[in-house]
Amino acid sequence: MLRIHVSGMDLSKVRMATRPDALWETILSFHRLRDRRASTVFGKWRTETRPRLNGETRLLAALVPPRGYFPDFLTPSREGSEPHSFDAGMEALRDTPPERLHAELGLLRAPGRPLSLGGRHCGGHGSGRGVRSGGVRPAGGRPGDGRPVPPVRLDALSEGRTEPLGRLITALRGYHRAAVEPYWAHIQASIEADRAVRGRALLDGGADELLASLPSMIRWRAPVLEADYPVDRELHLGGRGLLLQPSFFCRSTPVVYRNPELTPVLVYPVTHSAAPVFAEPGPGPWLGRLLGNTRSTVLQAIGTGCTTSELARRAGVSLASASQHACVLREAGLVLTLRHGSSVLHTLTPLGGSLLRGGAPLALS
């Protein structure tokens, strides 16, 4: 179990990340690529992504094992609530001090590494971020072919040499371009929907309610935030506060940095709907159902997010009508719906927002 000790000062410094973190999504997606579970959410993405990959996965597999620890430097930390863009993250990675590279890569070779470090882990059945089962390809193999290749030696990278660090950045860029970048609008929409739920909780009851609203694998028992975790870990914030970073590719349980001196960040999984996440709406009956002044009014009323009751009041329709319109808009890929306590919260997807803006795309970072 992970236990995060939150003082009164820490509670006043709890904050939400403003958008997805490109580096966290890139690294965590690599775990999902080697995992056969959650096919409803990730199956289509895996099928489309694997053929686009070349040699990037060999180096990444050496740095991001199927289970257990992966180095903190792969997801650079920063102060504040604004995550790194991918390019800024790559520059931060390039500036990693050689001694830090050496120390963190040394942990990959430590005996008993997966369960003895008490640091950040990723994996999962049940606990989610430790031991993984089934569907894991041999380290260094191309995802999907099941064939092992010779392991990548990390000695030169561990010494902080410029050339191997450049190769790592090139591999990360290639993987991000193939696996994450084409789906960024979907990722951002999911994070925005989660932020709407957390923002509503913060407005309703402050930081206490915000922490209590986190997914079920995370439990706020003041003054300790507990979470399912593959090892026992105590994290003392020491007045630094906590950054909450929702993640599309995080699964089952959260992740924190192994190094307690880094900016405290809790990366947690967003809630995915039962429908295939990456399925694009095709021509169908919803096109005709979308037409009409009432549904246009409902779409505009959803705006930055609202419950079904609020939607009914804003649009001037009955509760049953508001629920029906929201359902049609959700089927059309224009609205996301997440549960918030005893109610549900509707938010616009990038497609829905673009439709309201007359087709102008949403600016993505």
First-residue to last-residue Cα distance in the chain? 34
What distance in Å separates the CA atoms of residue 34 and residue 135, rounded to the nearest whole number?
6
Do 107 and 47 touch, CB atoms closer than 8 A?
A: no
Report the b/e string of 305-334 with b at 16+ CB within 10 A.
bbbbebbbebbebeeeebbebbebbbbbbb
Question: What pLDDT score does 277 carry?
Answer: 56
- For each of the chain's 365 residues, which pLDDT tens digit applies? 999 999 999 999 999 999 999 999 999 999 999 887 777 888 889 999 999 998 778 889 989 988 888 999 999 988 878 888 999 999 999 999 999 999 999 988 765 443 333 346 665 433 333 333 333 333 344 444 444 444 566 888 888 788 889 999 999 999 999 999 999 988 988 898 899 889 888 988 999 999 999 999 999 999 999 999 989 999 999 999 999 999 999 988 899 999 999 999 999 999 876 555 555 544 445 544 555 778 888 888 888 788 899 999 998 899 999 999 999 988 888 888 887 777 788 988 877 877 776 654 444 44
Joined together, the tokens standing for residue 149 give 């290749």
Query: Is the preceding omega at residue 83 within 30 degrees of 0, hence cis?
Result: no
Q: Where are the beta strands (DSSP E) in the chain?
A: 2-5, 14-16, 218-221, 224-227, 233-236, 242-247, 265-269, 306-307, 335-340, 343-348
Look up the pTM and report it.
Answer: 0.75
- List, in sequence order, every residue forming a beta bridge with 267; answer none if it has no partner: 245, 255
Question: What pLDDT score does 142 carry?
Answer: 46
Question: What pLDDT score does 128 carry?
Answer: 38
Question: What pLDDT score does 291 carry?
Answer: 53
Question: What pLDDT score does 273 carry?
Answer: 66
